[in-house]
Amino acid sequence: MKPFIFDARNGIHIIDLSKTLTQLETACDFLTATVRKGGKVLFVGTKKQAQHAIKEIAKECGQFYVTERWLGGTMTNFNTLKRSIARLKEIEKMEADGSLARYGKQEQAVIRREAARLHKYFDGIREMDRIPAAIFVVDIKREHNAVAEARKLKVPVVAIVDTNCDPDLVDFPIAGNDDAIRSVRLLLATIGQVITQAQAEFESKRARRPVTGEPAPAEAPPAAPAPVEAQPATSAPVETPITEIAPVGAVPPMLP
């Protein structure tokens, strides 16, 4: 972290904010490009200073979050994670349709405790059906398991890196104080704003895209030929009968 420290006074390191701004812009550009392609971001922060802020920002921009203890294998053992989430949804469905009432009181209590535990750890990632495109971490020293899993799966890591952390462990470090609530909220607000805008652009682009398999509009039938106007019938020329001239002196026939 030495390149990002401006000065040290009385054992307190002062971060160079000009470099923080540059790093923040780089991280925002990366996250914007990722979300525009339809990728999802997983926010990770289990320390008390960051829990509420991460949960709030992640919900606002429609992303996933982990604010309780990071369970080992959340990404590297994703199939097991999906089974746990499916169990949570199953219990919630039982509670909604009343089928849970068929069990005895002790069994209901056990099932509800199981649901409470699953909800505590998996509520923020219950809709995550695949590995996220990137993760955003607050305090990489505390969340070293999450960073290690992301590095193993080659998932890009964006993180707030304090002076006691190694910035080489993440792809897009942001030098900042991860212990101060105001500092964490300021950085999260900026990240959340760019992700929300990128998500809106992706949704708009997807809405304009034609749905695959949709039948093409039927072609209009050919127009019927215009009716031909009937020509007025011309009467045949009337032949004028030629009167036969009787010879001179002939007597005309008498009518009976």
Q: Which of 183, 209, 168, 159 is closest to 27 using CA atoms?
A: 159
CB-based burial label for 26 (10 Å; 0-12, 13-18, 19+): middle
pLDDT at residue 256, as a whole number: 45
pLDDT at residue 27, as a whole number: 92
Q: Which of 172, 228, 210 is closest to 32 using CA atoms?
A: 172
Query: How many Å separate Cα 61 from the centre of its chain?
Result: 10
Query: What would the mean pLDDT of 59-76 be, rounded to a whole number?
Result: 90
pLDDT at residue 231, as a whole number: 55
DSSP class of residue 29?
A: H
| Residue 53 confidence (pLDDT) above 50 | yes
pLDDT at residue 109, as a whole number: 92
More confident residue, 83 or 233: 83
What pTM was estimated for this model as a whole?
A: 0.75
Strands 172-175 and 157-161: parallel
Tens-place pLDDT, residues 148-205: 999 999 999 999 988 888 888 899 999 888 888 888 899 999 999 999 999 998 888 8
Q: What angle do CA 16, 18, 21 make, to 5 degrees?
A: 115
pLDDT at residue 178, as a whole number: 82
